[in-house]
Amino acid sequence: MPSIQPPAPSAAPVSEAPLRPPGAGPHFNEVHRLDAQHRLRVLDSRPEQAFDDLTMLASAVCQAPIALISLVDADRQWFKSRRGVDTSETPRETSFCAHAILAPDSVLEVPDAHLDPRFAGNPMVTGEPQIRFYAGAPLITSNGLPIGTICVLDREPRTLSDTERLALASLARQVVTQLELRQAMAGLELDSMTEGLAGLWNRRCLDRNLITSAEESHKSSQPLSLVMIDLDHFKRVNDELGHPAGDDVLRHAAEVVRGAIAPGHFAARFGGEEFCVLLPATGTADARQTADALHAALIGTHWPHRPVTASLGVATAGVDERCDVRALLARADRALYEAKAGGRNQVRVFSGWS
């Protein structure tokens, strides 16, 4: 306001003023991000009290006249709830929130939009509603994908206090909880705790262990790391050899991952050809060592049908930060994306969003 290469930004219309700053670029995992948002089936839905309550709280806690729950769609931002404005959506190219989702592990704060080159020429700054201040906490799904923000805006330059910033991030988590509860209540069924094909724990169990491990990490002042694994070009196996061969490859990958991790580590199938390994009480250096060992095991094994390589992304929540499991997933996903963009068949460690 969470891999594949993002689509190139479209050219600005000729009719736009030449001095107008460009909008934010696409999220690095834009296709998956949009898919996660659309599966929630919330866009263009009717107002709901649960979400209006959260924007009211954001406005009150941050003492801001405008508060929004904004979903960043392909070419617009749409407001599930709004307070202080009448419009239900705006173009994505003028969206502050489209910038916020590019670094989803922190609150984006713009103390004075007139002084920020990203927004100084924005029509919402130069015209109505005369925005000067913005703060947006990304809405991160259980897949670690940012779909929008809960944000507050003011017509005067200012900053948030630490308490206000923490409260806004907390409200963002509540928004996502409501969205995903809404999805479950619409009739989507939860799977059992184990994944049948690969014989590993499934996403539901991974999510529970992530939350438990994050709480234990905070209490014990220990780091928490996550390794995300993707089998390179797995679609080719299905396309060229058939889905039974693809199932053989997935089962074999699960056996290799399970055999390569240490006691106390937790392996799960994340979805498709992706796997996750949760490493409690593990810092970045040891997590990289584990990822290298997993990579070596996957490369060195005798694969059924034909050789397969893997790309791995590593992320760590340090002892000096309160671990947000969705932000940790987003960081690991970013590192995995960089491993793929760098040529695949390698390990990358999260080093930032730029």
Look at the block and give the residue holding tokens 């994908």. Answer: 145
Q: Could you give the CA distance from residue 312 to residue 292 in angstroms, rounded to a whole number? A: 9
**Among residues 296, 290, 242, which one has the least CA distance to residue 264?**
290
> Among 7, 154, 134, which Cα is nearest to 70's?
134
Both structure tokens of 327: 């932000």
For residue 88, the tally of other CB atoms under 10 A from its CB is: 12
Could you tell me which residues come within 8 angstroms of residue 304 by beta carbon, excluding any fewer than 6 positions away? 245, 248, 249, 252
For residues 73, 3, 27 and 201, what is the CA-based torsion angle, rounded to 10 degrees?
Answer: 70
Q: Is 156 a catalytic residue?
A: no
d(C-alpha 83, C-alpha 170), whole Å: 18
* Helix, strand and coil in the chain, % to nearest 5: 40, 20, 40
Give the residue among 93, 99, 108 at the shortest CA–CA distance from 20: 93
Among candidate residues 30, 93, 164, 273, the one labeled active-site is: 273
- In degrees and rounded to multiples of 5, residue 175 shows phi and psi of -60, -45
Catalytic residue IDs: 273
